[in-house]
Structure 1
């Protein structure tokens, strides 16, 4: 079954980035699912990607148009509401993908709709900056996707690959996505938190110095935690992500830094909060993440 009708829920940085790419190729076969108040806001104020108007088609959560592919691009605290919002758009062949940070969104979506049509995925390598209804980026990054833990791509993975080829989204297929998601989580634990507290942009952790050392130390604390959770991460994974970091635009900013500047609640519970809780669960010390957690919570208290 070919993917034709595609919906995204969530117009943060990744929703706009990939929504714009998709809508330019398939037009009204692409839609953004949102409640009526958000739709009115998007339509009155517009949504822009690198200065271009995003000509999105909008559908309310009450509309019953069935999607072949639904992409979740909300934040974790909005995931449960997003699951409810898309239910009228789900059919027996609908494929689900999540672009959320953290290590839990696939599990939550799978519990809601079943794992049979869930494609595990993670976005990486983009240097997006979102200011109000405007998104700017230099590098659009890629979406890594595949099976959670298997050797051969499944039929649903092949359907997504064909669709991404058709609309021009860069991708990488990895059929150990459980490991990939943990590895991306490790990166976010380092770069999002350290730039939010000790830097202004990616450039602050691209050069040798205290911020880069702290980023690496925070990432290192994830490795033993992941192993206790059944996922094998190594120093080679840190080396890989450092190459990714060094290839980003120095002026770009991670999402948490943008939240701090906008005085919005951050995803600190998703990052160091998770590392610290799992560390306590397994009897592992996580002093760097405890330090970053306290720093970010102090920042949030001033908002």
Structure 2
């Protein structure tokens, strides 16, 4: 397959390495020092199974050089979606599918307002990766699961082809009959992990050791799950209990990317996480006071500045 990664950050870079190793033609879209390093020395991955180095089919910041591809793996920060979506246009053929792997639950709808809807799918990634340095992607932990589908979850050959490519490359891409359920099941967890670890400047271990933080976490879970159900998402009745049980098994030092970005003074995706729960709940006639409070507390840092102290 011909596949492009827009952009080649943690998720795109991980899959670019795996898919290139499996023999696919991967165009890595990057910029600045990261692009220069890929061009000079290849794209490196430090993963649970060792060190990997590939020379992608293309490394460029000009998508007009790439031409039409079979699939675009779309993994950018939520605030960068519009600009990155425009970069996809020169790489779209009639049957190209763009799979968004972003935090939150609105990426597919936002993409479909910019790109032809026939080219837009939906997806959710379960993996912890980051750009450790220019040209190097670092993976934390062994899990790497990518769930994606057409926007309406109907079976399609282009989804099957990309799923087979990712599975054959050694990652996990299971089928799903309800991508919205998959997306919201993760969002129920992530909204709480993000909200509490960033809002309280703490770790999962701190949450488990504190009754007030544990209660706050579980309230966020309940608010987000209630919103999903109100919007017609077929979340399991047990999703709140299942999410809390899963959270108790997470590594104690773990924090959400939101907390890490806050510490480093980077822009935050809070408008698309806690802020989205608050905003969408208000539109649906629901109350989400804890998500709204987390959003209010983090909003001063949404454009990127480190908190005092």
Which piece of structure 1 moves more, 290-299 or 61-70? 290-299
1:250-265 superposed matches below 5 A: 250-265=252-267
- Larger fraction in strand: 2
Which of 283, 290, 293 lines up with 2:292 in the alignment? 290
User: Helix, strand or coil for the counterpart of 1:256?
Assistant: helix
Which of 143, 148, 155 lines up with 1:145 in the alignment? 148
Distance change >3 Å, CA 21–CA 248, structure 1 → 2: farther
Q: CA deviation at 1:296?
A: 1.8
In the alignment, structure 2 segments of 5+ residues that lack a partner are: none
Whole-angstrom CA distance in 2 between matches of 1:149 and 1:65: 27
Distance change >3 Å, CA 299–CA 108, structure 1 → 2: closer
User: Helix, strand or coil for the counterpart of 1:26?
Assistant: coil
2:168 aligned residue: 166
Whole-angstrom CA distance in 2 between matches of 1:293 and 1:302: 16
User: Helix, strand or coil for the counterpart of 1:74?
Assistant: coil
2:177 aligned residue: 175
1:7 aligned residue: 4
Q: CA deviation at 1:250?
A: 3.6
Is this contact kept in 1: 2:4–2:69, CA < 8 A? yes
User: Helix, strand or coil for the counterpart of 1:284?
Assistant: coil
Count of aligned pairs: 297
1:85-136 residue CA offsets vs partner (Å, 9 max, x unmatched): 1211111121221101112111122333333343321012x23355444523
Q: CA deviation at 1:45?
A: 8.5
RMSD: 2.8
2:29 aligned residue: 33
Q: CA deviation at 1:40?
A: 2.9
Distance change >3 Å, CA 11–CA 33, structure 1 → 2: closer
Which of 144, 153, 156 lines up with 1:154 in the alignment? 156
Whole-angstrom CA distance in 2 between matches of 1:200 and 1:46: 36
Q: CA deviation at 1:200?
A: 4.0
Q: CA deviation at 1:238?
A: 2.7
Distance change >3 Å, CA 223–CA 208, structure 1 → 2: same
Whole-angstrom CA distance in 1 between matches of 2:251 and 2:287: 33
Distance change >3 Å, CA 240–CA 132, structure 1 → 2: farther
Whole-angstrom CA distance in 1 between matches of 2:255 and 2:230: 31
User: Helix, strand or coil for the counterpart of 1:181?
Assistant: helix
Whole-angstrom CA distance in 1 between matches of 2:85 and 2:142: 29
In the alignment, structure 1 segments of 5+ residues that lack a partner are: none
User: Helix, strand or coil for the counterpart of 1:86?
Assistant: helix
Q: CA deviation at 1:140?
A: 3.3
1:224-254 residue CA offsets vs partner (Å, 9 max, x unmatched): 3223323243551233334544454443432
Whole-angstrom CA distance in 2 between matches of 1:45 and 1:251: 33
What TM-score results when the alignment is normalised by the length of structure 1?
A: 0.85
Distance change >3 Å, CA 257–CA 228, structure 1 → 2: same
Which piece of structure 1 moves more, 68-77 or 31-40? 31-40
Q: CA deviation at 1:53?
A: 5.9
Is this contact kept in 1: 2:125–2:146, CA < 8 A? yes
Distance change >3 Å, CA 243–CA 68, structure 1 → 2: farther
1:17-96 superposed matches below 5 A: 17-26=14-23, 29-35=25-31, 39-40=35-36, 42-43=38-39, 48-50=44-46, 52=51, 54-55=53-54, 56=56, 57-59=58-60, 60-96=62-98
Which piece of structure 1 moves more, 82-91 or 177-186? 177-186
